């Protein structure tokens, strides 16, 4: 049987029962569509988490005080609250370890801040000039803190755009903000800069923040020589691991301890952790959707078995006029594959539309990847073959004599 004839027979057979073919296709459309939409949501959130981690700075190693704790223990206890890291540690890292580009010692706290009668509670970070490069913070108006200001303990502050909105009103122009005075813990600071908007929400709002010189923060707010984080930027991503090991050794020696009284994490670890969470999420969503695809496949098998029974006499006749076993087999297998193929194409379109709607109306990041399209196309083809195989082989094995007698 010629291929073109095979296609014609398949096409006519599917058209001869439009309602049934349509409903069977619908099952596959929903299956494929939900797989595409779910995977796009999973991969979209993976991408957005990765990019927000990247926006914290590149080639970053974070050192925090307190011992590293294993899974299942209380993570927050101790970490950050113990005082084991000092400004001197940061200086030693910068001067003593090769491959370190810059080091940013930081202290942070939340304080009530007032300006011209308005007040807000926000995160106040004591930082040095290197912070802006290490943490990838850019100033939109004015300037960032300088090393001179840190050294001189100048009472100057750089504020984030959300803090500006809270203190000076939504979208206040920079000329109304720069040079103004704000009060933190009864100390007056002069605003010298506003940072660029970075985005982020909830607990991790990088725009609702005030930067003041580290020295000032240590003197008047946290007290002592301690820092809450040391952020280290390595020269490139290849030396990250070696820099991290060197820092660990250095700090162990400096603190004169055998087990670390600090935690050290590099950005790659953070990204990997976040990715493993989101890829689990993606797999979960995808497999829930996959179930509906299997149900759609069973729908195809059901329809094909009904079709084979209904068309037993036709199969008998086809055999009588010369159809070989493989002709019958290909015809019924072809019908099943054609159903899944059409369902697959429509499903991809539907999944695309669904993921567009999700990202547009529910502001959830989605990403329809070529991978998920190829995957679901392959899966739908495979479903056609798997669920069409049994009915088709049943049809091809029919005895023509009995098939012709079938009532």
- Does residue 316 contact residue 404 with C-beta atoms inside 8 Å? yes
Q: Determine how β-strand 118-127 pairs with β-strand 209-213.
A: parallel
> Measured from the CB of residue 326, what is the shortest distance to another protein in angstroms?
8
Count of residues binding another protein (CB under 8 A)? 24
What is the CA 124 to chain-centroid distance, rounded? 29
Among 259, 322, 362, 370, binds another protein (CB under 8 A): 322
Question: Where does this chain touch another protein (CB under 8 A) — which range of 93-101, 106-114, 183-191, 325-333?
Answer: 325-333
Phi and psi, residue 361, nearest 5°:
-100, -20
CB nearer to another protein: give 15 or 370.
15
357 lines the binding site for another protein (CB under 8 A) = no
CB nearer to another protein: give 198 or 318.
318
Q: Write the binding mask 8 to 47 for another protein: x where contact by CB under 8 A, - elsewhere.
A: -x--x---x-------------------------------
Output the furthest CA–CA distance in the chain (Å, rounded): 104
88 lines the binding site for another protein (CB under 8 A) = no
116 lines the binding site for another protein (CB under 8 A) = no
Among 139, 221, 317, 346, binds another protein (CB under 8 A): 317
314 lines the binding site for another protein (CB under 8 A) = yes
Question: Where does this chain touch another protein (CB under 8 A) — which range of 74-82, 125-133, 162-170, 319-327?
Answer: 319-327
Helix 325-361 and helix 370-396: axis angle, to 10°?
A: 150
Among 107, 318, 342, 379, binds another protein (CB under 8 A): 318
320 lines the binding site for another protein (CB under 8 A) = yes
CB nearer to another protein: give 8 or 237.
8
Extended beta strands in 185-245, E state: 187-195, 209-213, 229-234
Q: What is the DSSP string of 354-396?
A: HHHHHHHHS-------HHHHHHHHHHHHHHHHHHHHHHHHHHH
- Does residue 255 contact residue 226 with C-beta atoms inside 8 Å? no
Question: Where does this chain touch another protein (CB under 8 A) — which range of 162-170, 217-225, 309-317, 344-352?
Answer: 309-317
Give the C-alpha distances (Å, rounded to integers) separating 194 from 143, 145, 149: 8, 11, 17
334 lines the binding site for another protein (CB under 8 A) = no
- Does residue 293 contact residue 21 with C-beta atoms inside 8 Å? no
Angle, vertex CA 191, rays to CA 185 and CA 193, nearest 5: 135
394 lines the binding site for another protein (CB under 8 A) = no
324 lines the binding site for another protein (CB under 8 A) = yes
CB nearer to another protein: give 7 or 371.
7
Q: What is the DSSP string of 32-45?
A: HHHHHHHHHHHHHH
Phi and psi, residue 71, nearest 5°:
-65, 140
Among 321, 361, 362, 363, binds another protein (CB under 8 A): 321
């006519």: which residue's tokens?
12
Among 4, 19, 71, 73, binds another protein (CB under 8 A): 4
Residues lying near another protein in the complex (CB under 8 A) are found at 1-2, 4-5, 9, 12, 16, 313-314, 316-327, 400-401, 404
């Amino acid at each position: 049987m010629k291929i073109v004839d095979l296609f014609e027979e398949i096409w006519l057979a599917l058209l001869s029962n439009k309602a049934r073919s349509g409903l069977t296709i619908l099952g596959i459309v929903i299956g494929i569509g939900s797989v595409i939409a779910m995977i796009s949501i999973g991969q979209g959130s993976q991408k957005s988490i990765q990019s927000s981690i990247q926006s914290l700075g590149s080639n970053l190693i974070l050192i925090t005080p307190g011992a590293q704790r294993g899974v299942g223990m209380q993570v927050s206890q101790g970490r950050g609250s113990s005082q084991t890291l000092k400004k001197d540690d940061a200086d030693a890292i910068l001067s003593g370890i090769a491959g370190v580009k810059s080091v940013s010692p930081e202290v942070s706290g939340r304080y009530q801040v007032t300006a011209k009668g308005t007040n807000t509670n926000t995160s106040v970070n004591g930082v040095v000039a290197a912070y802006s490069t290490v943490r990838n913070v850019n100033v939109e108006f004015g300037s960032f803190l300088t090393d001179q200001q840190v050294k001189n303990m100048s009472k100057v502050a750089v504020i984030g755009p959300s803090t500006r909105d809270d203190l000076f009103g939504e979208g206040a122009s920079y000329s109304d903000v720069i040079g103004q005075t704000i009060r933190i813990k009864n100390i007056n600071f002069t605003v010298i800069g506003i940072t660029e908007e970075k985005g982020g929400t909830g607990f991790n709002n990088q725009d609702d923040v005030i930067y003041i010189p580290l020295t000032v923060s240590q003197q008047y707010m946290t007290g002592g020589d301690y820092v809450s984080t040391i952020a280290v930027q390595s020269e490139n991503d290849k030396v990250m691991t070696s820099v991290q090991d060197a820092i660990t050794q250095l700090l162990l020696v400096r603190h004169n301890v055998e087990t670390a009284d600090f935690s050290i994490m590099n950005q790659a670890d953070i990204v990997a952790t976040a990715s493993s969470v989101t890829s689990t999420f993606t797999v979960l969503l995808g497999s829930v959707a996959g179930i509906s695809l299997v149900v759609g496949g069973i729908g195809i098998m059901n329809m094909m078995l009904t079709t084979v029974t209904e068309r037993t006499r036709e199969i008998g006749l086809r055999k009588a006029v010369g159809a070989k076993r493989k002709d019958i087999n290909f015809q019924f297998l072809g019908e099943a594959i054609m159903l899944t193929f059409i369902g697959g194409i429509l499903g991809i379109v539907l999944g695309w539309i669904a993921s567009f709607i999700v990202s547009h109306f529910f502001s959830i990041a989605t990403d329809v990847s070529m991978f998920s399209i190829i995957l679901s196309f392959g899966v739908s083809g495979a479903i056609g073959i798997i669920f069409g195989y049994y009915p088709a082989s049943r049809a091809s094995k029919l005895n023509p004599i009995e098939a012709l007698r079938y009532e």
